[in-house]
C-alpha cells in the first residue's frame, strides 16, 4: 500500500512538474500585424442652381474650412495608405468646374483635384485617388492636411435654369484607409 | 510610468487567465476538511480540524475554450497572422472564454459542538480572485479587419463581456446530522471586496450603411458601461513616485480586504441524504450572495446614438457664418449625442453562484457498523463514515456566468487504503475539455492530513495545447470524531 501511494503521489507530482509541451515561439507576436481598414464619408457639398445663377462672378463659390480628421494624432501616426473616392453629380443647366484642395496648417496647397462636368443631363463623375501606395500619391499629403478648400467655377451662363427638378451640383466623398494598430 | 501600467495590466491578466471553479475532485472527499466548503451539509467525521494558516487550501484553476496557447504560438512554421485570423478571429464564438480563479485559505478550522455532537461548526477566511473574459467577436473583427466593405454589417457591442474581482471571504458554517439519514448545513459569508471590474451588460452596434446625402453613413448606437471599484487607489499609488509600489498596493489590499472596501453577504446551503445502506445523494448551492460596491468607485459609460455622413455643406446656409468650424461642430455633435461620461455611483454585483449535485455508492469491506435504519439517532464518526474501501459516484456542477450557466458532469472512483491513504480518480466533461481526467490523493499521518489533486492530467502531455488545468493542495490537522 505504501508503495502504491508513493507511486500515485509521484505520478501526480511528475505530471504537474514535468508536463510536456510542444515547442512554442512567443517571438511570433512581433510578426503579428493588426491593420484594419476604416471607411467613412468625408465631405458632402450641395449647391443649388439658383445660388450659381445669383453670382455674377464665374467663380461662384470658394470656401476653406478646418478638417481635423487627418490630423488626429492616432490616425496621423498610424495610417499606412488609402483611397479617397469622389462623386460629382450635376443636374444644373451649366457646365461646372469643381476643385478640392488639401491645405496644411500654413495654408499651403498639398494636393488638388479638379472635376469638370458637363451640363445636365450628364453622368455622375466618379474618381478614386490613392495615397501611400507605390503608384499613389504621398501619404504625407493626408497626414499634413489640416483644412480643405472648395472652389466652384461656372463654365456656362448664369441665367439658364435646368428643366430637372431641384437642380443642384453635389460633391460626395469618402475615404478608406488602412491603419496599423500593431 | 509605462512599467507601472504593465504591472497593473499583468496583475489583472493574471486574474483573467485563471478560472473554472469546479472542484469536482474535492467534492464530498470526506477525508479532507476543505470539502466541507463545497457542501456545508457533508457528513463530517471530524472532532475538530485546523488548517495550517496560508497552507491549508491553495487552489489554482485556468481554462480557455476554443483556443490554446499552442494554437497561436506553436513553432510550426505557419504565419501567426493566418493563425490568428483562422483560429481566433474566424474561429472563436462569443461563448468562448478565457477565465480563471485562485483561492488561498488564510485561516480555516472547525469543531464539533460540545453540548450536541451532531453539530459541527467551521469558520475561516479565504482570499479569492476570479476573472472571466468572453471573446468579443465583433469588436475583434472590427479591430482586425475594420469596417471597410462591410456595408450593413452590424458590429454588436454586446459581445464585450468581462468581469474580474479580488476579495476576502469571512465565513462561519453550521453542519448538523439531522437524523441518521440526513445531514444538512449552511454557511454564512461576509465578502470584503478589494477590487472589481465589471462590464457585462453592454448593448448597441456600429454599422456603416449607404448614406442619404453622402456616400456612406456611420451609425453608432451604444449603451455601454464599465464599473470599477478599488482600481483608482492602486493607480494613484503607481503614479505616485514617492510611494513604494509594492508596499502601497499591499496597504490598499489589506485595508480593503478587511472590511475597508466593498462589503457583501452570501450563503451556502447543502445536504447529504442516505438513500440506502451505502448510497448517498448530495447537493449544495454556494455563494448565493452579492457585493455592494461603494468605495473608490469609478464608472465609465458610453450611452447614446448618432449617425454621421462627414461634414455637410449645404449652400447657401453653409456660408452664413464665415467663422464656422464645421469639423469641431461635427465632433461636438457626436460627443453630445454619444457622451463618454464618468461617474462614482455605487453598484451591486452578484456572486457567481455554484450548484453541485452528486450521488455516491460505497462498496467493499466495511460499510456502517450495524444495520442501516431509518431511525433518529446518528453515529457520525470516522469508523462509520469512512469504513469502506471503494466508492463510485457521479456529480453535476453548474455555475451562473454572464452568458448563462456553465455545466460540468463528473464520474469518479475512490479507493481507500486503511485510514492513511485515500485516492480518487475522476473523469469530467465540460466546455473546456472532453478528456478531463483528474487524480487526487489524501494522506493521513497521525493527525496531519496532506492532500494534493490535479485536473485534466492528459493535458500535461502538451501543456501549451491544454484548454484547462487546475491544481490544489493543502495541509490540515485533524482530530477524528469517535463516539
Contact (CB<8Å) A67/B74: no
Nearest-neighbour CA in chain B from A93: distance (Å): 18
Closest CA to B41 of B104, B128, B107, B118: B118
Helix (H) or strand (E) holding B237: helix B231-239
Q: Under the phi-then-psi rule, with left for phi > 0, alpha for psi from -120 to 50, and beta for the rest, what region is B149?
A: left
Query: What are B136's three cell numbers?
Result: 468579443
pLDDT tens profile B46-105: 999 999 999 999 998 888 888 888 889 988 889 999 999 999 999 999 988 888 889 999
- Cα–Cα distances (Å) from B338 to B196, B204, B223, B266, B303, in that order, read 26, 12, 9, 38, 6
Give φ, ψ of B231 to 5 degrees: -85, -35
Q: How far is A21 from chain B (nearest CA, A)?
A: 4
| Mean pLDDT on B204-215 | 97
- What are residue B464's phi and psi, to 5 degrees? -65, -25
Q: Which of B137 and B18 is assigned the larger pLDDT?
A: B137
- The 10s digit of each residue's pLDDT in A167-176 is 999 999 999 9
Distance CA B241, CA B328 (A): 37
Q: Which residues touch A76 (CB under 8 Å, ≥6 apart)?
A: A70, A143
- Chain B hits for A68, Cβ within 8 Å: 327-328, 331
Phi, psi of B445 (to 5 degrees): -120, 100
Taking the CA of residue B319 as centre, how many other CA atoms within 13 Å lie in the half-sphere pointing to its CB?
A: 12
A15 min Cα distance to partner chain B (Å): 6
In this predicted model, what pLDDT tens digit does every residue of A20-73 receive, in sequence order?
777 888 999 999 999 999 999 999 999 999 999 998 889 999 999 999 999 999
Q: Say yes or no for a CB contact (<8 Å) between B81 and A172.
A: no
Nearest to residue A115, comparing CAs of A138, A137, A136, A85?
Answer: A85
pLDDT, position B295 = 85
Q: Residue B191 above 50 pLDDT?
A: yes
Mean pLDDT, to the nearest integer, of B313-333? Answer: 90
Task: Kindly indicate the confidence band of residue A18, based on its pLDDT and cuts at 50, 70 and 90.
Answer: low
> Residue A22 and residue B211: Cβ atoms within 8 Å?
no
Residues of chain A with Cβ-Cβ distance to B73 below 8 Å are 24-26, 28-29
Cβ separation of A38 and B146 shorter than 8 Å?
yes
Residue B384: helix, strand or coil by DSSP? helix
Q: Looking at this predicted complex, what is its ipTM? A: 0.87
Q: Is residue B367 packed enough to be buried (19+ CB in 10 Å), middle (13-18) or exposed (0-12)?
A: middle
Nearest to B144 among A12, A36, A172 (CB): A36
Q: B336: part of which helix (H) or strand (E)? A: helix B326-337
B250 in helix, strand or coil?
helix
Convert the pLDDT of each residue in B240-269 to its tens digit.
888 888 999 999 999 999 999 899 999 999
Which helix (H) or strand (E) segment holds residue B143: the answer is helix B137-145
User: CB B214 to CB A41 under 8 A?
Assistant: yes
Q: Are B386 and B419 in contact (CB under 8 A)?
A: yes
The shortest CB-CB distance from B75 to any of A13, A25, A174 is to: A25
Range list of β-strands (E), B340-420: 340-343, 347-350, 354-363, 390-399, 406-417
Closest residue in B to A55 (Cα–Cα): B316
Mean per-residue pLDDT, B153-179: 95
> Which residues 460-479 in chain B show a CB within 8 A of chain A?
460-465, 471
Residues of A in contact with B319 (CB under 8 A): 63
Tally A–B CB contacts below 8 A. Answer: 179
From chain B, the residues in CB contact with A8 under 8 A are 423, 439, 441
Interface of B with A in 250-279 (CB under 8 A): none
Range with the poorest average pLDDT among A38-42, A137-141, B435-439: B435-439
pLDDT at B28 over 60: yes
Decide if B215 and A87 are in contact by the 8 Å CB cutoff.
yes
Q: Is B82 on the interface with A (CB under 8 A)?
A: no
Mean pLDDT, chain B, rounded, equals 88
Closest CA of chain A from B147, distance in Å: 5
Amino acid at each position: 500500500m505504501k508503495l502504491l501511494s508513493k507511486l500515485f503521489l509521484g505520478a501526480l507530482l511528475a505530471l504537474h512538474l514535468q508536463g510536456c509541451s510542444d515547442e512554442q515561439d512567443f517571438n511570433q507576436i512581433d510578426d503579428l500585424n493588426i491593420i484594419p481598414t476604416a471607411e467613412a464619408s468625408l465631405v458632402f457639398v450641395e449647391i443649388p442652381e439658383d445660388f450659381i445663377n445669383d453670382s455674377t462672378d464665374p467663380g461662384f463659390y470658394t470656401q476653406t474650412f478646418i478638417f481635423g480628421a487627418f490630423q488626429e494624432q492616432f490616425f496621423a501616426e498610424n495610417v499606412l495608405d488609402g483611397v479617397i473616392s469622389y462623386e460629382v453629380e450635376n443636374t444644373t443647366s451649366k457646365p461646372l468646374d469643381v476643385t478640392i484642395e488639401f491645405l496644411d496648417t500654413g495654408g499651403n496647397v498639398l494636393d488638388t483635384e479638379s472635376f469638370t462636368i458637363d451640363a445636365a443631363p450628364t453622368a455622375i463623375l466618379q474618381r478614386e485617388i490613392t495615397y501611400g501606395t507605390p503608384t499613389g500619391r504621398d501619404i504625407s499629403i493626408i497626414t499634413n492636411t489640416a483644412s480643405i478648400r472648395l472652389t466652384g467655377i461656372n463654365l456656362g451662363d448664369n441665367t439658364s435654369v435646368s428643366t430637372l427638378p431641384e437642380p443642384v451640383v453635389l460633391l460626395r466623398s469618402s475615404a478608406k484607409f488602412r491603419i496599423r494598430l500593431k | 510610468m509605462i512599467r507601472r501600467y504593465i504591472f497593473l495590466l499583468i496583475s489583472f491578466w493574471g486574474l483573467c487567465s485563471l478560472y473554472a471553479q469546479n472542484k469536482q475532485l474535492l467534492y464530498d472527499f470526506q477525508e479532507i476538511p476543505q470539502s466541507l466548503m463545497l457542501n456545508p451539509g457533508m457528513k463530517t467525521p471530524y472532532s475538530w480540524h485546523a488548517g495550517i494558516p496560508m497552507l491549508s487550501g491553495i487552489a489554482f484553476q485556468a481554462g480557455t475554450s476554443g483556443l490554446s496557447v499552442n494554437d497561436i504560438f506553436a513553432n510550426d512554421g505557419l504565419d501567426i497572422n493566418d493563425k490568428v485570423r483562422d483560429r481566433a478571429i474566424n474561429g472563436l464564438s462569443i461563448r468562448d472564454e478565457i477565465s480563471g480563479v485562485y483561492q488561498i485559505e488564510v485561516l480555516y478550522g472547525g469543531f464539533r459542538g460540545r453540548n450536541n455532537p451532531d453539530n459541527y461548526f467551521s469558520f475561516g477566511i479565504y482570499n479569492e480572485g476570479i476573472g472571466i473574459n468572453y471573446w468579443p467577436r465583433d469588436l475583434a473583427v472590427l479591430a482586425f479587419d475594420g469596417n471597410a466593405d462591410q456595408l450593413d454589417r452590424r458590429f454588436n457591442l454586446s459581445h464585450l463581456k468581462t468581469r474580474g474581482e479580488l476579495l476576502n471571504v469571512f465565513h462561519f458554517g453550521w453542519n448538523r446530522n439531522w437524523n441518521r439519514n440526513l445531514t444538512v448545513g449552511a454557511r454564512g459569508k461576509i465578502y470584503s471586496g478589494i477590487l472589481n471590474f465589471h462590464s457585462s451588460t453592454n448593448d448597441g452596434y456600429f454599422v456603416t450603411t449607404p448614406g442619404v446625402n453622402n456616400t456612406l453613413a456611420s451609425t453608432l448606437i451604444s449603451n455601454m458601461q464599465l464599473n470599477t471599484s478599488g482600481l483608482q487607489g492602486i493607480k494613484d499609488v503607481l503614479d505616485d513616485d514617492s510611494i513604494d509600489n509594492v508596499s502601497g498596493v499591499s496597504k490598499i489590499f489589506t485595508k480593503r480586504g478587511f472590511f475597508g472596501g466593498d462589503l457583501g453577504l452570501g450563503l451556502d446551503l447543502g445536504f447529504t441524504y442516505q438513500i440506502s445502506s451505502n448510497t448517498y445523494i448530495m447537493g449544495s448551492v454556494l455563494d448565493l450572495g452579492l457585493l455592494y460596491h461603494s468605495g473608490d468607485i469609478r464608472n465609465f459609460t458610453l450611452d447614446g446614438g448618432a449617425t454621421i455622413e462627414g461634414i455637410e455643406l449645404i449652400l447657401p446656409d453653409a456660408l452664413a457664418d464665415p467663422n464656422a468650424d464645421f469639423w469641431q461642430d461635427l465632433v461636438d455633435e457626436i460627443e453630445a449625442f454619444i457622451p463618454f461620461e464618468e461617474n462614482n455611483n455605487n453598484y451591486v454585483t452578484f456572486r457567481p453562484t455554484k450548484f453541485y449535485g452528486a450521488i455516491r455508492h460505497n462498496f467493499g469491506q466495511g460499510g456502517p457498523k450495524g444495520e442501516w435504519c431509518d431511525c433518529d439517532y446518528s453515529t457520525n464518526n470516522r469508523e462509520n463514515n469512512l469504513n469502506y474501501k471503494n466508492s463510485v459516484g457521479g456529480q453535476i456542477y453548474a455555475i451562473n456566468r454572464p452568458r448563462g450557466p456553465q455545466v460540468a458532469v463528473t464520474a469518479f472512483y475512490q479507493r481507500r487504503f486503511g485510514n492513511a491513504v485515500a485516492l480518487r480518480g475522476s473523469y469530467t466533461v465540460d466546455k473546456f475539455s472532453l478528456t478531463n481526467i483528474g487524480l487526487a490523493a489524501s494522506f493521513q499521518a497521525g493527525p496531519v492530513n496532506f492532500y494534493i489533486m490535479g485536473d485534466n492530467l492528459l493535458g500535461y502531455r502538451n501543456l501549451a495545447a491544454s484548454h484547462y488545468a487546475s491544481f490544489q493542495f493543502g495541509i490540515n490537522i485533524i482530530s477524528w470524531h469517535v463516539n
